[in-house]
Chain A
Amino acid sequence: MALTGIQIFKLLPKTNCGECGVPTCLAFAMNLASGKAELEKCPYVSEEAKETLASESAPPIRPLTIGTGDYAVKLGGETVMFRHEKTFVNPPGFAAVVGTDEDDASVSGKIERFRQCQFDRVGLKLRPELFAVRDAGGDAGKFQGLAKKISDETGGSLILMSGNVDALKAAAGALKEKKPLIYAADASNVDALGALAKEVACPLAVKGDGSLESVIALTEKLSGMGIKDLVIDTGSRELKKVFEEQILIRRSALKNRFRPLGYPTMIVANEMAGDLMEETVIAAAFVAKYGALMVMSDFQPHSVFPLLLERLNIYTDPQRPMTAEQGIYPINNPDENSPVLVTCNFSLTYFIVSGEIESSRVPSWLCVQDTEGLSVMTAWAAGKFSGESVGTFINKCGIKDKVKHKSIIIPGYAAGISGELEEELGGWNVVVGPREASQISKFLRAFKPQ
């Protein structure tokens, strides 16, 4: 919660000089609280009050960015505990570890898989975005070389993981333009890594000893050094404990505005499980419950893909479904003899159905009716995909001028509307298509409009 007018008033000079444009400090405080005034308007406010006000109005969980360009990942900035309250804003980044102890084949395999893990869905590109480059042996040159190679060859964002301050200095110095996350400051090296993060202006991870107190000690120290872009690894690796910590961190940051825990968190899943399957399950838990960065041992499409879907689902706007525009969509260059299909304007449905028509290679017209973003069955149940509404749309949209035949294919799940639709369309032939979009291709290849 932001400060109230009264709380702000207590921080003002209370001289009622009026230079801010309103007659009293109290009136000015009220305007500040409701966002109607800027603090700069008062020339007499103390430095201390300025700082308090600035930090109180800052987001409760620090937003920050790792990396640059296409693969930059924004973390933090979350404002709620539960996604039905308000959209979760910054989807967690997915990283795979690549170590200096891996041979060339292993490294290039990971690079190859990183490039392959790109999936189109609902008009978005889903993919992992980071590599966690791990220094296995304290050879600073090798570490820096590997980090640079990964960055150059993939463009992926980086987490630089080393227990050796000099190795981190070298790598972060060489790659600072890429804004890597430096991992990790603990009690033994916090001064040196704090200085490094400041010098290269890169975000820094803190690693606790498995207690939140240790994390707090580190973040307080670093924020005292003026470092703001921090990521928390509590150091715990036991699932149950990590879960508890994630809940408490998020809750303390949001409910108590407890600054020392107001940072995005990372989950080192590869150190919490025996294999990639288990890691995936662990990452899945923390996609839902508050992880901002997931580190895994590898990118395998069969493990990344389910996580990307989950991330997409959890981080969508809970109030408004994604929609496609109402209208006629020509697919595969249709002409006046091509089949006509109708569906709803829920984005997911539109992309699935148009994708299936496209891959059938059958030239077709897809008519998309505005159902306010509801899926076929949901819209049908809500009365928004009825014989009447579909009929009105088809009559008005202009498809009848584009084709010579008189057939329209409706979704199998909407079979119930066919009688009414036939009446609405006067003389048209309503054909009930398959229920599942995956059958559309087979269906279209055998279909002749009449």
Chain B
Amino acid sequence: MAFQPAKQVYTGAIREVTLGSGDKAVTVGGKKVFPFHSFEGTIPHPPRVAMEVWDKDPSAEWAEAAKAPFLDVLADSAAWARKCVDQYGAEMIVVQTKSADPNGDNKPAEEVAEVVSKVINAVDVPVVIWGVANHEKDTEVMRLTAEKCSDKRLALSPVEEGDYKQVGAACLAYKHVVVASSPIDVNLAKQLNILLGNLGVAGQDIVIDPTTGGLGYGLEYSYSVMERIVQAALTQEDEKLQQPIIANVGNEVWKCKEANLSAEDAPALGDPARRGILMEAVTAVGLLLAGADIVVMRHPDAIKLVKQFIAKMT
């Protein structure tokens, strides 16, 4: 008797969400099977890698290895974004509005929105604006940028239970995408999607961020919550969880201690540049296998490794 492999039954699909406008718009989601399980069903869009740009010079905070590829542009966010697109072939940009952080530089919202708009106008690929998870500040910045760049179909992140009404309204008014963010919990993710639905935000306008933990710092929780969300969406017909997932990988990995230790500080951990790059790539691969549709990354070499992985798996 010929071997009959055990089958997985699927009953649902992840919704398709399109980010950006024009030729370079990108559609994510749409899969009807578990991540990379193309041997048993359709995956219309491969997962994507978005490149991270900060709205301020990160030199004081970044590891040497992460800075090296961008030394010429770190002080100019728009030039940095262009470099990502032109030289590294970025298909999507994430602007992290670090300068807005009330616990840090606390730049006024107008100034932050100004820089963010410059970045958006400097590139033709989709842009995600990633705030600092301070509801008041994020709401201000998001509202200003959403209005300024109303034709761009941006994605605004993180939209949390505490500010979904304000940011959600801005998305609705200017036709942007909501990145619904919840702390590592299937039910909280679902609840936020329901709240957004009640507000009038449609499924094709929501990407979810179930929160990313770094490698060695809670990655396993993110990994499992993503697997559970994808299972609920594809095998339990949980309508409210059938959204594409985004994971803010680079930011999380590179802030951990081991990604930043120099060779002098940690001779036992090997080459610091390759260590950081692999920590980032390993985390991204783990979360892609768990169900992420977009991974936000920092180092061009880590991105290359992950893109190559996606290409071989597709």
Interface SS, A side: helix
> What is the CB-to-nearest-CB distance from A402 to chain B, in angstroms, rounded to a whole number?
29
Residue B306 is within 8 A (CB to CB) of chain A in the complex: yes
Chain A residues within 8 Å of B2, by CB? 213
A313 within 8 A of B: yes
Q: How far is the CB of B198 from chain A (nearest CB, A)?
A: 24
Q: Do A312 and B257 form a contact, CB below 8 Å, given A247-B37, A303-B270? A: no
Contact between B6 and A437, CB atoms less than 8 A apart: no
* Option from A119, A248, A278 in Cβ contact (under 8 Å) with B308: A278
Known: A285-B289, A306-B275, A313-B216. A318 touches B224 (CB 8 A): yes
Question: How far is the CB of B194 from the nearest CB of chain A, in Å?
Answer: 21
Q: Mark B45-65, 1 if CB is under 8 A from A, else 0.
A: 000000000000000000000
Q: Quick check: B282 and A255 within 8 Å, CB to CB?
A: no
A303 & B274 in contact (Cβ 8 Å cutoff)? yes
- Determine whether B309 belongs to the interface, using a CB cutoff of 8 Å to chain A: yes
Interface centre among A288, A303, A313 (most CB of B within 10 A): A313
Contact of A302 among B3, B8, B37, B278 (CB under 8 A): B278
B286 and A284 within 8 A (CB): yes
Q: Flag whether A268 is at the interface (Cβ < 8 A).
A: no
- Let me know if B228 and A84 touch, CB within 8 A: yes
Given A239-B312, A278-B308, A310-B286, is A302 in contact with B269 using a C-beta cutoff of 8 Å? Answer: yes
Chain A residues with a Cβ closer than 8 Å to the other chain, count: 53
Chain A nearest CB from B210 CB (Å) reads: 13
- CB < 8 Å neighbour of A277 from B218, B228, B278, B314: B278
Q: Cβ of A280 and Cβ of B282 under 8 Å apart?
A: yes
CB within 8 A of B285: which of A244, A251, A281?
A281
> A300 contacts the other chain (Cβ, under 8 Å)?
yes
Q: How far is the CB of A300 from chain B (nearest CB, A)?
A: 5
CB of B313 within 8 A of CB of A240, answer: yes
Interface of B is mostly: helix
A301 surroundings in chain B (CB, below 8 A): 268-270, 275
Which of under 10, 10 to 19, 20 to 34, or 35 or more describes the interface residues of B? 35 or more
Closest to B221 in A: A318
Interface string of B279-309 (1 = CB under 8 A from A): 1011101100110000000000100011011
Known contacts A301-B275, A303-B278; decide if A314 and B269 are in contact (CB<8 Å): no
What chain B residues lie within 8 Å of A248 (beta carbons)? 5-6
Contact with B along A239-251 (1 / 0, CB 8 A): 1100110011001
Q: Which residue from chain A places its CB closest to the CB of B309 in the assembled complex?
A: A281
**A240 to B268, alpha carbons, bound, how many Å?**
34
Give the contacting residue for A285; candidates B37, B215, B217, B285; CB below 8 A. B285
For residue A217, which residue of chain B has the nearest CB? Answer: B3
In chain A, what residue has the closest Cβ to B218? A375
What residues of B have a CB within 8 angstroms of the CB of A280 in the complex?
278, 281-282
Contact call A306/B219, Cβ cutoff below 8 A: no
- A381 in contact with B183 given A247-B37, A310-B219, A313-B220 (CB within 8 Å): yes
A309-347 with Cβ < 8 A to chain B: 309-310, 312-314, 316, 318
Q: Which chain B residues lie closer than 8 Å to A255 at the CB level?
A: 6
Give CA–CA (A202, B166) in the complex, Å.
65
A438 at the interface (CB under 8 A from B): yes
CB-defined contacts of A189 to chain B, threshold 8 Å: none
- Return chain A residues, CB-CB under 8 Å to B286: 284, 287-288, 310, 313-314
Which B residues touch A238, using CB under 8 A?
Answer: 312
Assess the B218–A213 pair: CB atoms within 8 A.
no
Residues of A with C-beta under 8 A to B269: 119, 301-302, 305
8 Å CB interface, B211-252 against A:
215-220, 223-224, 227-228, 231
The distance in angstroms between the C-alpha atoms of A244 and B39, with both chains bound, is: 7
A284 touches B220 (CB 8 A): no
- In the complex, chain A residues whose CB is within 8 Å of the CB of B314: 240
A285 to B290, CA, bound (A): 10
- Any chain B CB within 8 A of the CB of A212? yes
Query: Cβ of B223 and Cβ of A83 under 8 Å apart?
Result: yes
> How close is B96's CB to chain A, nearest CB, in angstroms?
17
Q: Which residue of A lies closest to B287 (CB)?
A: A288
Complex CA distance for A306 and B269, rounded to whole angstroms:
10
Whether B36 is near chain A, meaning CB under 8 Å from some CB there, is yes
Contact between A288 and B5 (Cβ–Cβ < 8 Å)? no
Contacts of A381 in B (CB 8 A): 183
Q: Min CB distance, B44 to chain A, in Å? A: 17
Complex Cα gap A281–B312 (Å): 12
- Does B277 lie at the interface of the complex (its beta carbon under 8 Å from any beta carbon of A)? yes
A438 touches B257 (CB 8 A): yes
Looking at the complex, which one of B3, B36, B215, B305 makes contact with A313 (CB distance below 8 Å)? B215
Query: Which residues on the B side are within 8 Å of A436 (C-beta)?
Result: 255, 257
Interfacial chain A residues near B268, Cβ < 8 Å: 116, 119, 301
Q: Does B258 contact A (CB under 8 A)?
A: yes
Chain B residues near A (Cβ < 8 Å): 2-3, 5-6, 8, 36-39, 183, 215-220, 223-224, 227-228, 231, 255, 257-258, 260, 268-272, 274-275, 277-279, 281-283, 285-286, 289-290, 301, 305-306, 308-309, 312-314
Known: A300-B274, A306-B275, A438-B257. 8 other contacts (CB 8 A): A83-B220, A84-B227, A216-B3, A243-B313, A277-B281, A284-B285, A287-B286, A313-B216
Cross-chain pairs A/B with CB under 8 angstroms, 6 sampled: A121-B216, A254-B6, A281-B285, A281-B306, A284-B285, A306-B282
